[in-house]
Amino acid sequence: MNNVIDFINTHRDRYVDELKQYLAIPSISALPEHKADVRRTAEWSTEEMRRIGLQNVRLIETPGFPVVYGDWLGAQGAPTILFYGHYDVQPVDPLELWESPPFEATVRDGEIYARGAADDKGQVFMHFKAIEAHLKQNGRLPVNMKIILEGEEEVGSANLDNFVKDHRDELKADVVVISDSPMFDRGIPSICYGLRGLVYFQIDLRGTKSDLHSGSFGGAVANPAFVLANVLAQMKDRGGHVKIPGFYDDVRELREEERDQWKRLPFNEKRYAKELGAPRLFGETGYSTLERVWARPTFEVNGILSGFTGEGAKTVIPAVAMAKVSMRLVPNQDPDKIAQLFEDHIKKVAPKTVDVKVTRMHGGKPWMTEFDNKFVQAAGRAIEKGFGKTPVFNREGGSIPVVATFQEILGLPSVLFGVGLPDENAHAPNEKLDLGNFHGGIIASAYLYDEVAKG
Ligand code: BES
Ligand code: MN
Ligand code: MN
Q: pLDDT digit string (tens) for 336-354? A: 999 999 999 999 999 999 9
In the predicted model, is pLDDT for residue 371 greater than 80?
no
Residue 89 near residue 119 (C-beta atoms within 8 A): yes
| Maximum Cα–Cα distance across the chain | 81
Residue 200 pairs in a beta bridge with 326
The ligand placed nearest to the CA atom of residue 155 is 1
Could you give the angle at which helices 12-24 and 121-138 cross, rounded to 10 degrees? 140
| Bond prior to 37 in cis (omega within 30° of 0) | no
β 106-108/111-113 pair status? antiparallel
Give the pTM: 0.94
Instruction: Check if 88 has its Cβ closer than 6 Å to any atom of ligand 1.
Output: no
Tell me 162's DSSP state.
Answer: H
Listed residues: CB within 5 A of ion ligand 2: 119-120, 180
pLDDT of residue 453: 97
Residue 85 pairs in a beta bridge with 149
Residue 176 near residue 414 (C-beta atoms within 8 A): yes
Q: Which of 100-109, 224-233, 364-373, 402-411 has the lowest mean pLDDT?
A: 364-373
pLDDT of residue 258: 93
Residue 225: Cβ-neighbour burial (10 angstroms; 0-12, 13-18, 19+): buried
Q: Whose CA is nearest to atom 17 of ligand 1?
A: 156
Residues of the chain with CATH 3.30.70.360: 197-251+297-364
> Fold for domain 197-251+297-364?
Alpha-Beta Plaits (3.30.70)
Question: Best of 28, 153, 362, 403 to mutate for ligand 1, by most ligand atoms within 8 A of CB?
Answer: 153
Q: Which atom of ligand 1 is closest in space to residue 155's alpha carbon?
A: 18
The ligand placed nearest to the CA atom of residue 396 is 1
- Signed CA dihedral, 381, 385, 389, 393: sign only: negative
* Ligand 3 center from residue 455 Cα (angstroms): 31
β 355-364/212-213 pair status? unpaired
* Ligand 3 center from residue 116 Cα (angstroms): 9
3-state secondary structure 197-246: EEEEEEEEEECCCCCEEHHHHECCECCHHHHHHHHHHCCECCCCCECCCC
pLDDT band at 455 (very low <50, low <70, confident <90, very high): confident
The ligand placed nearest to the CA atom of residue 362 is 1
Instruction: Check if 45 has its Cβ closer than 6 Å to any atom of ligand 1.
Output: no
Active site residues per annotation: 88, 153
Residues of the chain with CATH 3.40.630.10: 2-195+366-454
| Bond prior to 413 in cis (omega within 30° of 0) | no
Summarize pLDDT for 50-62 with one digit per residue, the tens: 999 999 999 999 9
- Architecture of the domain whose range is 2-195+366-454: 3-Layer(aba) Sandwich (3.40)
Percent of the chain past pLDDT 70, that is, above it, reads 100
| Bond prior to 373 in cis (omega within 30° of 0) | no
Instruction: Check if 396 has its Cβ closer than 6 Å to any atom of ligand 1.
Output: yes
In the predicted model, is pLDDT for residue 223 greater than 80?
yes
Average pLDDT taken over every residue of the chain: 97
pLDDT band at 321 (very low <50, low <70, confident <90, very high): very high
